[in-house]
Amino acid sequence: MSLNTNKQISKNKKEKNNNSSNIKLELNTSNIKQLLGNSEDIKYREIVLNSDKKISVTLIYIDGLVNSSDISNYVIKPLIQEECIKNAEDSNEVIELIKDGVLYYSAQTIEYDINNVISGIMSGSSALVFDDQNISVVFDAKSFDKRQISEPTVQNATKGAKDCFVENYRSNTATLRRKIKTADLTIENIVIGKQTKTTVAIVYIKSITNDQMIREVKDRLTHINTDNVLSTQVIEESLCENLNNPFPQVICTERPDTFAGEVIEGRVGVLADGIPFGFIVPGTMVQVMQASEDYSHNYMVSTIIRITRYLSLILALTLPSLYIAITTFQPEMIPTNLALFIAKSREGVTFPVAFETILMLIAFEILFEAGQRIPKTVGQAVSIVGTLVVGQAAVEAKLISPAAVVVIAVTSIASFAMPNQDFSNAVRLWRMIFTICSSILGLLGIVAAIILLVFQLSKLETLGVPYLSPYVSGSEKDIIHDTVFRMPIKSNKIRPPDLKVKNVKRRGD
């Protein structure tokens, strides 16, 4: 068979498949069964409405996803017992009675498209199908097990709200509504994921948020082409400008108060069904270095805490590389007593400073990853064994020096001071780059790494907002008020200018 013949056959098959997919099936029980298959949990119940058994309908639902009690009491019971339905002459009259409110269920819609009915059933609704009219009444009677709202597990709060997002999408929107009671709060739904059909909500305040930013977020989410939306990365990658940069461009939070605060600032929030986190865009470095609790303490205390975080960032990023550069390339920079102590502690150590430091960093990453993956009941034991027993044994065996252990310990503790775990992960990656550069070029390598890092951060933008905003685009007043320094609330009257919001005043003056 020739190549052209094969191409023609493939083309014909493709056209046939496209034509068959475009065929619109009639809305009836038989076609619904054909589309849903023979799954055991999909229930079909035929109900006879009038006394002479001329009118019958089929109730279709998925066992485990609906509230059976509500369906029985507010749908099936009225259909069988109401006199007006018993006296109806045809199914069309029954449908009109349902439209007029003869059933006791408020959350109901009339559907004429079989695809909408299938989507509703798979989402947990119940469908009452009238085969002779090709019409269905869909009842939103979802009811399934869900995790109760509890304290945050990742972003702990000592003086703040104790609730967190859960996997149930509607619970999250309700929590948000309780915190933001303005009528301007808008929640728009879209469905993404060819197989999972995940409901994703775009959250914003229409009187504040920039319209262009809203349209851009909608466009990026609607163009997601994937089978499933089961992880946070699907949402984050669709909203990121540069996937080759490890720093978080989308702020991921499990705390509704943090999410609500950012939405009120003029940013756009995203919530996805089945994911217990909210997403905020655009993300900036200032956001990831702040915590919602900063606004629960006195402004002077919060300022000291923020300065401590930035110092911790510098230590976590540069301390191992500085230790290598100074001890290996510029030992004259070290005070004499300290230099003698380091030299004495390294007596008998086989490996050079650079190698032992990199080895310790890798060991720390392994311990950290092990602590993340193993059960919580044994996580503390692994940390104790890894840090105390193995570390002490390595020092006594002259595999590493005590000074290297101290440097890596301080670095590790400083990295835990980052409020955002995604940002901390990016710092861990760049710390290794700094360490390698200092191992090759000493202090010159650190300077080169700093220049490369600043260049990467300076060119990074999300939805037109610079990642280093307001350091690179704001005024001196913007930089002082709510970045490293936290001024009194009454002095923060203006929203971030880079967001280009409709209402720049925070206090409504």
pLDDT digits (tens, 9 = 90+) for 457-468: 998 988 889 999
Residue 479 within a domain:
no
pTM of the full structure: 0.80
Q: Give CA–CA dist 174/166, Å, rounded.
A: 11
Confidence of residue 252 (pLDDT cuts 50, 70, 90): very high
Q: Give CA–CA dist 169/142, Å, rounded.
A: 12
Residue 454 and residue 383 share a domain? yes
Residue 454 and residue 359 share a domain? yes
Residue 334 within a domain:
yes
Residue 395 near residue 349 (C-beta atoms within 8 A): no
Residue 133 within a domain:
yes
Residue 108 within a domain:
yes
Phi, psi of 262 (to 5 degrees): -70, -35
The mean per-residue pLDDT over the stretch 23-51 comes to: 84
The pLDDT value recorded for residue 148 is 78
Using only the alpha carbons of the chain, give its radius of gyration: 31
Q: Is the pLDDT score of 216 beyond 90? A: yes
ω into 256 cis (within 30 of 0): no
- Of the listed ranges 45-49, 308-312, 326-330, 391-395, the least confidently predicted one is 391-395
Total domains in the fold of the chain: 3
Q: Is the pLDDT score of 255 beyond 80? A: yes
Residue 33 within a domain:
yes
In order of 57, 260, 282, 425, 485, the CA distances from 266 in angstroms are 49, 10, 10, 27, 21
Q: Is the pLDDT score of 473 beyond 90? A: no
Choose the final residue of a domain: 429, 446, 462.
462
The pLDDT value recorded for residue 412 is 87
Residue 106 and residue 205 share a domain? no
The pLDDT value recorded for residue 10 is 46
Residue 188 and residue 121 share a domain? no
Residue 256 within a domain:
yes
Choose the final residue of a domain: 421, 437, 462.
462
The pLDDT value recorded for residue 445 is 94
Residue 165 near residue 175 (C-beta atoms within 8 A): yes
Residue 107 within a domain:
yes
The boundaries of the domain holding residue 73 are 3-139
Q: Give CA–CA dist 137/99, Å, rounded.
A: 9
Q: Would strands 126-130 and 56-62 be described as parallel, antiparallel, or unpaired? A: antiparallel
- Of the listed ranges 15-19, 165-169, 221-225, the least confidently predicted one is 15-19
Residue 202 and residue 101 share a domain? no
* Residues forming a β-bridge with 56: 48
Residue 128 and residue 79 share a domain? yes
The pLDDT value recorded for residue 352 is 87
The mean per-residue pLDDT over the stretch 176-195 comes to: 91
Residue 275 and residue 301 share a domain? no
Residue 288 within a domain:
no
* Angle of CA points 134, 138, 142, to nearest 5°: 155
Residue 268 and residue 301 share a domain? no
Residue 414 and residue 314 share a domain? yes
Residue 276 and residue 348 share a domain? no
Q: Give CA–CA dist 72/105, Å, rounded.
A: 11
Q: Is the pLDDT score of 178 beyond 80? A: yes
Q: Is the pLDDT score of 394 beyond 80? A: no
Confidence of residue 144 (pLDDT cuts 50, 70, 90): low
Please indicate whether residue 324 or residue 497 has the higher confidence score (pLDDT). 324
The token pair that represents 276 in the structure block: 């217990």
Residue 334 and residue 447 share a domain? yes
Residue 334 and residue 272 share a domain? no
Confidence of residue 380 (pLDDT cuts 50, 70, 90): low
